Amino acid sequence: MAPVSRRAILAVASLVGAYFLILAAAPAPPALSAPDAALVAKAVAYLQALTTAKGRFVQTDAKGAVIEGTIYLQRPGRARFEYDPPSGLVIASDGHEVSVVDRRLKTIQSYPLGLTPLALFLARDIRLDKGVVVRQVTREPGGFAIAARDGRKKAEGEIVLYFADAPVALTGWAITDGQGRTVRVRLADFARSSGRPAKFFELYDQAQR
């Protein structure tokens, strides 16, 4: 299999890895206060209940480049991230593999779902107490944010997940890598939706389209 292109890796890092691929090599944070722990529990309960959803995303990279697309979620196991033209990227998990299609280059790369951070979010049971350290919980107008890192110290960087409150809803995230570069993703109209057929998440024939 040919190596995954840098463009595809960046796309996966900013979207697929957005939920739980986070900071390494930092001192252990103090235990969360009871109010902070309650907000984390609320966020996990929301994510756990989010089985089928659809929304729009706006991604801004460290250089200020902006690209938009549509996200489809169908837990457990399935998700699809489709970038708007002129980008040719589509990223999808069919429950077994994550595939990255570049329609402009007519290429497809696939690798096991279990080897990607997406597996943690698409699992039947979402856990934030396995390999993840919540560094900080902050209150913001109309919501809250959770900053976390990789407790196994295998990944450098930090992720901040942003949630609206009352009702709880994921509104976006920001990932900062080990070199201090930040990719921000803002969600819009991300809400529960009707399910899609399993074939929608299979990209075997997408590269030629």
3-state secondary structure 81-112: EEECCCCCEEEEEECCEEEEEECCCCEEEEEE
Classify residue 80: in a domain, yes or no.
yes
| pLDDT exceeds 50 at position 25 | no
End-to-end CA distance of the chain: 21
| pLDDT exceeds 50 at position 154 | no
pLDDT interval class at 162 (50, 70, 90): very high
pLDDT interval class at 110 (50, 70, 90): confident
Classify residue 208: in a domain, yes or no.
no
- Between CA 170 and CA 38 the distance in angstroms is 16
pLDDT interval class at 35 (50, 70, 90): very high
| pLDDT exceeds 90 at position 55 | yes
pLDDT interval class at 23 (50, 70, 90): very low
Classify residue 209: in a domain, yes or no.
no
Classify residue 152: in a domain, yes or no.
yes
- Between CA 67 and CA 46 the distance in angstroms is 27
| pLDDT exceeds 80 at position 73 | yes
Classify residue 206: in a domain, yes or no.
no
H or E stretch including 138?
strand 132-140
The residue among 52 and 15 whose pLDDT is bigger is 52
The pLDDT of 48-55, averaged and rounded, is 88
Classify residue 63: in a domain, yes or no.
yes
The phi and psi torsions of 25 (rounded to 5 degrees) equal: 55, 40
Q: Which CATH number does the domain housing residue 166 bear? A: 2.50.20.10
Contacts of residue 167, Cβ cutoff 8 Å, sequence gap at least 6: none
Helices marked H in the chain: 6-14, 34-49, 118-122
- Quote the pLDDT of residue 3: 43
The residue among 196 and 120 whose pLDDT is bigger is 196
- Quote the pLDDT of residue 209: 56
Give the domain extent around 20.
6-201
- Quote the pLDDT of residue 115: 66
Q: How many domains does the structure of the chain reveal? A: 1
Classify residue 173: in a domain, yes or no.
yes
Share of the chain above pLDDT 70, in %: 72
pTM of the complete model: 0.75
Classify residue 49: in a domain, yes or no.
yes
